[in-house]
Amino acid sequence: MRMAAKHLWIRYVWLWFIASAVPSATAQPVESLNVMTFNVWSGENSRAGRDKLVEIIQAANADIVGLQEMGNAEGLLVAADLGFNYHQQSGGDIQVLSRYPIIGQSPANLGAQIELSPGQNVWLFNSHLSAYPYQPYDLRDGTLPQDEASVIAAANSARGSQVTNYLDDMTSVLASGTPTFFTGDFNEPSHLDWTAAAAAATSRSYDLMVEYPASKRITDA
């Protein structure tokens, strides 16, 4: 059951300061940036496992990575193997890795400021929202009324306050116009997926059109 549940979650994955040997930002502006979101599923404390994570990040040619479900000690080791800068966020199992210098954090430490070149910065906010209650399971199991309003209310109850914390923490960043990325495992379907067309394409009665609130609030912001 754990494996099946995790596969469903991954379907809806979105994207103290440690000194390192990574060079300082280059003088030329960066014109291309690869941002990666990576749920590593409860971290990896074996040498072989960390090597595989490093291999995946390198294969993706990622410049900045939002990690979820990674322990601090293991995250530091992965960053060291990559030669990346590392930042531990509030929330325990979420971190930011970057080949560029990490020069600041948001007030609640839910986001990291990254310097691509002198005077050229971006922000990465990275999340791991609550997994349960998971509304598609509750619809399937008949423990949630089969209507959109009930599903939205349940999703807001499960993750709404966490989304509010992120949006509050990035208010000044968004107002500044600085390029901002939001990675993470939302543990909630996307409002862009569960449309009327998607619901009509399935024969299962519990597959409803739902404007799921987490992704809707974030894209609106």
Helix (H) / strand (E) containing 221: none
Retrieve residue 184's tokens: 């993470």
**Spatial distance between the Cα atoms of 161 and 186, rounded to a whole number of angstroms:** 13
pLDDT of the residue at 46: 83
Mean pLDDT by 10 residues, the chain (221 residues): 36 38 67 96 79 96 96 92 96 94 97 97 98 97 96 98 98 96 97 95 94 96 92
Strands across the sheet containing 85-88? 17-18, 85-88, 94-98, 64-68, 35-39
SS3 of 97, please?
Answer: strand
| Angle, vertex CA 82, rays to CA 81 and CA 85, nearest 5 | 105
pLDDT of the residue at 41: 86
**Spatial distance between the Cα atoms of 204 and 137, rounded to a whole number of angstroms:** 13
**Spatial distance between the Cα atoms of 94 and 208, rounded to a whole number of angstroms:** 31
pLDDT of the residue at 10: 35
